[in-house]
Amino acid sequence: MITSKLPNVGTTIFTTMSQLAAETGALNLSQGFPDFNGPQGLLDGVGRHIALGHNQYAPMTGLPVLRQQVAAKVARSYGATVNADSEVTITPGATEAIFCAIQAVIRNGDEVIVFDPCYDSYEPSVELAGGRCVHVQLSLDGFALDFEKLKAALSPRTRMIIINSPHNPTGALISRAELDQLAELIRDRDIYLVSDEVYEHLAFDGVPHVSVLSHQELYQRAFVISSFGKTYHVTGWKTGYVVAPPALSAELRKVHQYVNFCGVTPLQYALADFMAEHPEHVEELPAFYQAKRDLFCDLLEPSRFSFTRVAGTYFQLVDYSQIRPDLDDVAMSQWMTREHGVATIPVSVFYQHPPQGQRLVRLCFAKREETLQQAAEKLCVI
């Protein structure tokens, strides 16, 4: 009988809720993907490159033209100069990038600090590397980094800290002052950083996303990870990238080449073309998604849910304390899906120890206007 290396891991909540939505015919505002297509020029590019015969292995590190476009975008967005050859690696999705970064530097007995609520792929990746996650809760007021708790969590075994901004599931943003404080705290320690920035271009209300790429001190010890799927509305393409200093990139690539080796070639060509032809896409993205957030929140104003409009990502948290305080959020998500036709994600699944009495669910607003209107109509009668 096999002894599981991940005995506490089952089917993810995202798969579970999407399956329940499909079974019940509910509107799926649970899993984070758009119900609209990516830009037509990008989609056309894939077919063009398939027809041109770009169907064999890409280089292990990614197509040079795409790595060059990433480096150019980093320069435009963050004023940082990175070497496309030695610091940019294209990966089949950001999840693979996170996995490879962790495997590259975490050894048996190492500790990795994660901030709850945190994305569910971090801990299994750490455990498979022989490490252990140390969970530090974000503040309940605004989900900011709690530096007193972080300082208390540090130990001689701490080898990595994983941060996520804009933050899934809360939408919170990490400020420059917080990055400065983090740098000061770990300055004299041998600690690596994974900065999960897959929603980097989804920051709202004129508040910019502050990337670790723009923080020279932290970048020297960091793997900065992003997602073409999130940025270009093509999550099913599973294509992401890592930017890291040359020495860290070299170690990450040692793992990456034996996990996937390379990403899908025609997708990389199409992305490179579109990025070169439409650099304005990323500049327009915050307003595009802020309009969806504002429409959805405006439509929810008459409901009995309470909420604060998120600062980033395409997820909105809502508090249901005034509706069904008797239900925990997993039961509430199932009830909303089965009885009211809207699938959501319970926030407690992102915690090691969920705060007592917290009554939050996560709704994805990366949807067409008509989908958001239909969902809001259902939510307003609960």
* pLDDT for position 12: 84
Tokens coding 6: 């991940």
The residue to which tokens 């001190």 are assigned: 217
List average pLDDT for each run of 10 residues in the chain, which is 382 residues long: 89 88 94 95 98 98 98 98 98 98 98 96 97 97 96 98 98 98 97 98 98 98 98 98 98 97 97 98 98 98 98 98 96 96 96 95 98 98 94
Residue 135: partners with Cβ closer than 8 Å, 6 or more residues away? 114, 115, 116, 118, 351, 352, 353
Using CA atoms, how far residue 366 sits from 28, 156, 350, in Å, is 11, 42, 20
**Distance in angstroms (rounded) separating the CA atoms of residues 26 and 32:** 15
Instruction: Please give the single-letter amino acid code of residue 136.
Output: V
For the chain, the domains span 13-38+281-379, 40-277
Give the SS3 label for residue 58.
coil
Q: What is the CATH number of domain 13-38+281-379?
A: 3.90.1150.10
Other Cβ atoms less than 10 A from the Cβ of 283: the count is 12
Tokens coding 361: 């669910």
CATH domain 40-277 topology? Aspartate Aminotransferase; domain 2 (3.40.640)
DSSP code string of 263-317: --HHHHHHHHHHHHH-THHHHHHHHHHHHHHHHHHHHHTTSS-B----SBSSEEE
